[in-house]
Structure 1
Amino acid sequence: MKSTPSNQPEQSVQKTFTNLINALEQNNYTNFISQGNPAFKEGLTKQIFTHVSEQLAPRLKKGYSSVFLTKLNQQGYQVYLWKLSFKDGSDDIVARLSLKDAKVAGFWLN
């Protein structure tokens, strides 16, 4: 069995992730859902987005770093994981980006 290190996602995937994080930091719902598939756009209301953004934006604005962890293939989706660490020393977050046909199908922060 041959294993190849995949320590970085494709450039387009990294750009999508960065755009999502920036949209959260700026509380920009339109930008956040712009790369989503119809189910993602329909499932994420502006109210839910605003609630998450209000909690996360202050931490993002103080500074953070992101480290790509891995890519998974799950049920026809490409799933990418990052670790977000915050300069304020608060708890880390695992960000999970799910893509299908180059569209965002899900984005979770745990």
Structure 2
Amino acid sequence: MELFRSQIDAIASESYEQFMDHADANFRQSISQDQFGALSESLSPRLVDGYQSEYLGALNQDGFNVHLWKMTLASSDSDNLVKMAMRENEIAGFWIQ
């Protein structure tokens, strides 16, 4: 849960370095600083308004441990599904749907 919060805080504060702090080499190569900037620019204002999260569990998929959260932004009535894929204690993927 701590790593999830760190990733969300990195998006809210627009910190690419913090977002990539626990990323594996493939994840680092797949998301450029510009791509992260576009993501955080659109989500940061809504995250700063506050959010609630609920851990839903984990799945084992093709060698990855994929953790799932339900996240509800204070500024929205809709829920988001957040997925964080882990392998060998490093983030291999992070999605907000």
Q: TM-score, normalised by structure 1?
A: 0.85
1:41 to 28, 52, 55: 28
* 4+ long deviations beyond 4 Å: none
Amino acid at match of 1:91: S
5 Å-filtered alignment, 1:3-82, equals 14-82=1-69
Query: Secondary structure, in 3 states, of the residue corresponding to 1:36?
Result: coil
Please give the root-mean-square deviation of Cα atoms over the aligned residues, in Å. Answer: 0.8
Amino acid at match of 2:6: N
Query: Secondary structure, in 3 states, of the residue corresponding to 1:70?
Result: strand
Structure 1 residue runs without a partner (length 5+): 1-13
The Cα of 1:90 is off from its aligned counterpart by: 4.2
Q: Are the structure 2 counterparts of residues 33 and 44 from structure 1 closer, same or farther at C-alpha, using a change threshold of 3 Å?
A: same
Query: Secondary structure, in 3 states, of the residue corresponding to 1:67?
Result: strand
Cα deviation, 1:42-86, whole Å, max 9, x if unaligned, reads 111001101110111111011100001110000010000001101
The Cα of 1:91 is off from its aligned counterpart by: 2.5
Amino acid at match of 2:12: E
Alignment length, in residue pairs? Answer: 97
Structure 2 residue runs without a partner (length 5+): none
Q: Which residue of 2 aligns with 1:98?
A: 85
Bigger proportion of residues as strand: 2
Q: TM-score, normalised by structure 2?
A: 0.96
